[in-house]
Structure 1
Amino acid sequence: MGVQTVSTLLQVFSSSWLVFCALFFVVGMGQISNYVAAFVLGTEILSPSVRIVYSTLGVCMFYTVGYMALPGVAFFIRDWRMLLLALTLPGVLYIPFWWFIPESPRWLLSQGRVEEAEAILREAAKRNRVTAPEVIFLKTEHNAGKMEAHNICHLVRSSNIRWVSITLWVVWTILSIGYFALSLNTSNLAGSSYLNCFLSAATEVPAYIVAWLLFRCCPRRLALFSTLFLGGLVLLLINLIPSPDLSSLSIALEMLGKFGVTAAFSIVYAYTAELYPTVVRNTALGACSMASRIGSISAPYFIYLGGYSKSLPYILMGSLTALSGLLSLLLPESHGMPLPDAIAHMQTVPGFKKRPMDKPSHIPEDEECASAHL
């Protein structure tokens, strides 16, 4: 958050386009990094029922509120320097969070820092006015010392996690192409670009509500497949509208396509966090987000293809999105399963031989984590 805020503030004083772009590169590094870190932190701290609300509605809905506010702020502040300044100042509000938000007990356990994890849970129990057990975590060989260090290479080390990772990287990349291409294309639609941007953002509100309902009640693969396939199918249907007089219908279909892609993006974030274990969860989400940046980099070029044929961007985006929906059916199911803490505890891809899973001794049998009791 500090990198993003300071870099955006420095952009206000950019003396050239080159300096502006260099600072924007740093802004992007800070923005997506703190988004992923905040998502993972909330996922690991919160209990199962609250986690679903947080990962599908909480994070995404507040992102949408900012998205909807952006065209309004930009409408009244036309100078780009003052606009950047207005978007930077709220970053000061982040500072108290350093003392308010605790560290992830799951991550501390994965590092062998049992006493620190217990202290956080006892503080949570005190604030929630419940009694913490005398012994929260048993000091066994699994958590008595610092655990094995994990890095991005562990995402492709075994056949099961390698297949999960590659599949998710492809899905995230295609999702990002559709999401950002449709978001950037609002300026090319008929009518006010400010209003179209607001409508594009407002479309995400019901999308996240639907994503939350699907994630709460349905199998993860079915939820991800249905939203991806809906988005792809609608984008393909736009090509069947021949007359310019039906521009309002085209906009409606494009917003419906954005609805499906947005809901899928919300689901894939939460689904990915459930599939990967604690020891690599932040790394895995970061890697998936990095793969999605390939899609966001490619998104403007999909829009440029409209200069050769107006239907070509929709055909490509619709086909790729629908195919990624089919690909998502190959992922393992995580609905109703506890969050894995070690790579050996991951759900297996359908068709792979199921390996024995050692139950982690530091997690209570009747709950995912002791924090769920507190």
Structure 2
Amino acid sequence: MSTGKVRDFDEITSFLGDYGLFQILIIVLLSFSAMPAGYMGVIVVFVSDTPEHYCRKNWTTAAGFNDTEQCLDGWVFSTDRYTATIVSEWDLVCDNAWKVPFSTSLFFVGVLIGSFASGHLSDRFGRKPVLFFTMVLQTVTALIQATSVTWVMFSILNCLRGLGQISSLIASLILGSEMLSQSVRVTYILLGHSLGFGIGYALLPLFAYFIRGWRMLLVAAAIPGFLFIPTWCLIPESPRWLLQKGRVEEAELVIHKAAQWNRVPAPEVIFRAGECLELMQTYTYMDLIRTHNIRNITIFGVFIWMSVTMVYYGLSLNSSNLNGNVYLNCFISAAIDIVVYVATWLLINRAPRPTFLFSTLMFCGIMLLVIQLVPEDMPVMFQVLALVGKIGVSAAYCFIYVFFTELMPTVVRNMGLGICSTAARIGAIISPYLLYMSVYSRILPYIIFGTVSIMAAVVSMLLPDTRNSKLPDLITQTKHIRR
């Protein structure tokens, strides 16, 4: 007889084990899906970089954004580093220099829209369809963008590419998190999903080094996305989402297939009739502020995600402005991310979740604020502090996906992460303009990034600890904030 009580999903499916063939397949395939998102988010470093240039008429040397004289006969751009970027293609210097950070911000506007829309769409239509649709959107848009004939066309497509990039990233994160047990979930997010993102990021400077034109670079970046499409038949829908929609038989079919892959026996009836009724209720974005606990977590999440993402992309997009080789700087920045993701996985369970987040953000903030003490004649020290500061924010950037996946209950998890990711993209939209402030003061962006990082660190200590906790399914299971 049914009791109507919701059983814990992890407990029900514990017979599958943790690291069977099914779990390994899911981790590998979904991690592969995150790789294109890794380089699509920062490809602007090379596509929109400003080469050295001089005025065609009077051969006056120019230094990028500091130009003040009108150049009536156009510009001549150096081809030592690139054969072409959008800056050299459409003369985006002097009075048109504002178009460079604006087109970058439009990418993050698309990311913002995608963060909000993907949560609603995947809660309505499923994690799997949204993942594959947005992966195709990101890939096809990059190909079309490579054929852009005007800056306006490029910028509009930049927005659409951003929409696809974040939507596929969030959908794959949620899909994997909801199919894996608690002990595997952290490994998937850090060593799978985040590492896939980081490897994609690290591949970008390698592609860009051998492909010096922005059009062919976009084409090369789009191709791996097509390789993911055939995996449709291997990746199942989230059984948690199927249960939420009342599709119990389909959820059981996914679990039975997983048991076959892992070669373990499965009960003939996995979910008893009536026990998942609460999961089948309809939820909206208003439920994210319905109770005191979920409201506080949502508000704190919005601020922390916006702050972390603003600092992370601010430091990542700044690769071309640092001294030295832009390709090497970008690769070092990506390599830092990869090392940090592995280190985070090794250290994550050695401290409470809020303490870990506090430590990484505080470390980043202090390193960035110390930059203002570096003399002008020590550019190497300036660069080292910026890269060391990125260690902290990179750890925080991957960690918040783990932390807030554990904080948000299943019934509103995708919407909750969507809202947090939407706020994060506001931070990403702001970051190019903060970098642009370096025209007036080289250290000003770092002072802002450092201050924001420390503020987010303080707020993080108010969040509850979720270490070794099971995923909450219902809003009533949301943890209390700390006081």
TM-score (normalised: structure 1): 0.90
Per-residue CA deviations over 1:73-101 (Å, capped at 9, x if unaligned) read: 11211121111111111111111221111
Does 2:300 match 1:180?
no
Per the alignment, residue 364 of structure 1 pairs with none
**Paired amino acid for 1:303:** L
The whole-number CA distance in structure 2 between the counterparts of 1:315 and 1:70 is 28
Q: Is the 8 A contact 1:271 1:334 kept in 2?
A: yes
1:263 aligns with 2:389: no
* Equivalent residue number for residue 283 of structure 2: 150
User: TM-score scaled by structure 2?
Assistant: 0.70
Partner amino acid, structure 2, of 1:317:
F
Q: How is 1:208-227 mapped onto 2 (pairs within 5 angstroms)?
A: 208-227=341-360
**1:307 counterpart = 2:439:** yes
| Cross-structure match for 1:100 | 234
The within-5 A match list for 1:1-374 is 1-140=135-274, 142-143=276-277, 147-244=280-377, 246-351=378-483
Q: What is the CA distance between 1:141 and its match in structure 2?
A: 5.2
Give distance in 2, aligned partners of 1:206 and 1:77.
26
* Unaligned 5+ runs, structure 2: 1-134
Shift of 1:216: 2.9
Shift of residue 252, structure 1, vs aligned partner: 1.4
The alpha carbon displacement at 1:243 in A equals 4.0
- Measure the CA separation in 1 of the matches of 2:330 and 2:231: 30
Structure 1: unaligned runs, 5 residues or longer? 352-374
Higher Rg: 2
3-state SS, counterpart of residue 320 of structure 2 = helix
Contact preservation (8 Å) 2:243, 2:276? no
Measure how far apart 1:26 and its partner are: 0.8
Identity fraction in percent: 46
Q: 1:49 to 1:242 in 2, by over 3 A?
A: same
Q: Indicate conservation of the 8 Å contact 1:229/1:322, yes or no.
A: yes
Instruction: Give the length in aligned residue pairs.
Output: 349
User: Secondary structure of 2:267's partner?
Assistant: coil
Equivalents in 1 of 2:145, 2:447: separation in Å?
37
1:124 Cα deviation from its structure 2 partner? 0.5
Q: Is the 8 A contact 1:52 1:216 kept in 2?
A: no
Determine the C-alpha separation between the residues in 2 that align with 1:322 and 1:21: 33
Letter in 1 for 2:310: I
| Structure 1 residue 233: Cα displacement | 0.9
CA displacement 1:5-62 (0-9 Å, x = unmatched): 1111111222211111111111110110010010011111011221111111211111
Alpha-carbon distance between aligned partners in 2 of 1:276 and 1:176, rounded to the nearest angstrom: 19
User: Aligned in 2, Cα 1:146/1:56: closer, same or farther, shift over 3 Å?
Assistant: closer
| Aligned residues of 1:229 and 1:321 also touching (Cα < 8 A) | yes
Report the Cα offset of residue 295 of structure 1: 0.4
